[in-house]
Chains A and B, each alone.
Chain A
Amino acid sequence: DVKVTQSSRYLVKRTGEKVFLECVQDMDHENMFWYRQDPGLGLRLIYFSYDVKMKEKGDIPEGYSVSREKKERFSLILESASTNQTSMYLCASSPGPGELFFGEGSRLTVL
């Protein structure tokens, strides 16, 4: 079975802190994604990566950056967390177009 692991299930951070969300997949998938999920807004794409060191902005990249130094690992970085970044963050991977395999999610609260 495909396994996508997000290192932190719950985080509480303060405004202005730098936040790292880590995601690792074990199926050698080319593509990895970060979405955020908010009530009433659904899942929105922040960034995705189709290869090591390659990244593309999604629909809401402002305030975020990403890093993909190794194929299996895709990190989401909040350089200076703000309260409006309180959300559920979902990482996903895929071998190509089609089905995404999701991690369990990281619920971030910024105070």
Chain B
Amino acid sequence: AQSVAQPEDQVNVAEGNPLTVKCTYSVSGNPYLFWYVQYPNRGLQFLLKYITGDNLVKGSYGFEAEFNKSQTSFHLKKPSALVSDSALYFCAVRVFDAGNMLTFGGGTRLMVKP
């Protein structure tokens, strides 16, 4: 069975510092991996995805993620955090069955302090 783990409930970063939000996955076969962001009382917004190709994927708002097959990880990164990046972040893996559903991690709350 496919699964996604986000080991940190919350990540605290000072504005201007680099940030990393961790994600590890467990799937059979090649994974499709995703990151989403959720602002308060809003739906989830797509940030980036890894399907195939370059292990470093660049997405919206300056975020990027690195696919590491040997460590089964897909950590989200940004070189310089903004206060406006404070939100809830979800990692997800695509399940290849009849529904082609996404399985989500539990979410990590990112707090960027001025």
Q: Do A and B come from one complex?
A: no
Q: Using a CB–CB distance below 8 Å, which chain A residues touch chain B?
A: none
